[in-house]
Amino acid sequence: MPSFRIVFAGTPEFSVPCLDACRASGAEVVAVYTQPDRPAGRGRKLTPSPVKQAALAANIPVQQPPTLKTVQARATLAAYRPDLLVVVAYGLILSPKVLAMPRLGCWNVHASLLPRWRGAAPIQRAILAGDRESGVDLMQMEAGLDTGPVLLERRTPISRDDTGGSLHDRLSLLGAEVLAEGLRRTLAGETLPAAPQSDEGVMYAHKLEKAEARLDFMRPALALEQQVRAFDPWPVAEAEIAGETLRIWSARAIEQPHGAAPGSVIHVQRDGIDVACGEGALRIATLQRAGGKRISAADYLNARPELRGKR
C-alpha cells in the first residue's frame, strides 16, 4: 500500500504539536515548510522557527521560500507529491494553484470557533472581547481568509484567569487533537463531512499592534482587565501609574464606587494597587518597572513609600 504523503506548513511554537500529530499518524511527512530564519534576541542573531527546529530534529526536509507565488516554488512543492498539505500558523498566503495541488487539498488548524475571529490574532481577540468560549477548527482551505468549510471542531471555555499565553498553549494541544482525529479517520478511508461556515457572526481578528497595549483608564475596568490578560505575554499592557510608566502583567476589575478621576490611585494594599476607571477600578497585582523584572504590588509599594498613604 503506498504511503500517505503529508507536507506540513507552520512556523511558531503553536504549530509544533500539530507537526508531532502528523508524524504520529502513520502518514509520511515528506517535507516541512516554514518561514525564513529571522533575527531574534539581543544579538539579533538569525534564528530558525520552532517548527524548523522540530523538523530538523526529526530529519524531515525543510523548505523556507519567502513566497509560494513563483513557478519555481510551486514546482518544488509539487515534486513532493503531497496527498495533503496541513497548514498551521504558517504565515504565507496560499494561492488557488497551491491549494489545488495536493490530492486532498489543504487543511488548516485555526484557533477559533469559525466564523468568529478569522484572521491573524484569534486567541487574543477572543479574550479582549470577553468571549466565554474558544476552540480550534480543522478547516478545508479555500481562497478566502479562513472561509473554508469546517471538518472537525474542539471547544474550550475561557476562564477569567486565562491569558493570551495560557489559552494559546491549551488551543495548541487541542489543535493537535483535532488534527490527529482528522488524519486517523482519513487514513481509515473516511471522507470527513465539510460544514460550510455561517454568514452570520463573522468577526476578523486583526494582527496585534504594540500601540494597543496602552491602558486607557477612561474605559471600564473589566475591559482593561481583559486587555491585560489578552496581551500577556505580548505585547504586555502598559499604563502610567502615579507618574511612572509601568508594564502591567496581571490585574483584576473590582466593583468599587470612587468618584475619582480615571487613572488615580485610590487605594493600595499588599495584594494590589487600585486605580480608578471609567467604571469600577482596576486592581493591579503584578507589574514591571522600566529596566526591571516582574514584581508584585507589595514589592512595588516598598519602592514607592509615598503611595502607602492611600491604604
Q: The C-alpha cell of 172 is what?
A: 495548541
What is the residue-averaged pLDDT of the chain?
Answer: 96
The CATH number of domain 5-205 is 3.40.190.10: no
Q: What is the pLDDT of residues 159-205, one digit of tens each?
A: 999 999 999 999 999 999 999 999 999 999 999 999 999 999 999 99
Residue 50 assigned as binding residue: no
Sequence spans of domains, the chain: 5-205, 210-310
Which among 301, 130, 134, 111 is positioned nearest to 228, based on CA atoms?
130
25-75 confidence digits (pLDDT tens): 999 999 999 999 998 877 888 999 999 999 999 999 999 999 999 999 999
66 labelled ligand-binding: no
| Grid cell in block for residue 187 | 487514513
Residue 309 has pLDDT above 90, yes or no: no
Give the model confidence (pLDDT) of 73-119 as tens digits.
Answer: 999 999 999 999 999 999 998 999 999 999 999 999 999 999 999 99
- Whether the CB-CB separation of 178 and 198 falls below 8 Å is answered with no
> Is 114 flagged in the annotation as binding?
yes
**Shared fold status for 5-205 and 210-310:** no
Share of the chain above pLDDT 70, in %: 99
Amino acid at 4: F
For residue 88, list its beta bridge partners.
10
Percent with pLDDT over 90 in the chain: 92
First to last CA, the chain: 74
CATH class for domain 210-310?
Answer: alpha beta
Rg (CA), the chain: 23
**112 marked ligand binding residue:** yes
Question: How far is it, in rounded angstroms, from Cα 88 to Cα 40?
Answer: 21
Q: 181: how many CB neighbours lie within 10 A of its CB?
A: 17
Q: How far apart are CA 89 and CA 84, in angstroms?
A: 16
pTM of the model as a whole = 0.95
pLDDT beyond 70 at 140: yes
Instruction: Name the nearest CA neighbour of 282 among 230, 217, 197, 204.
Output: 217
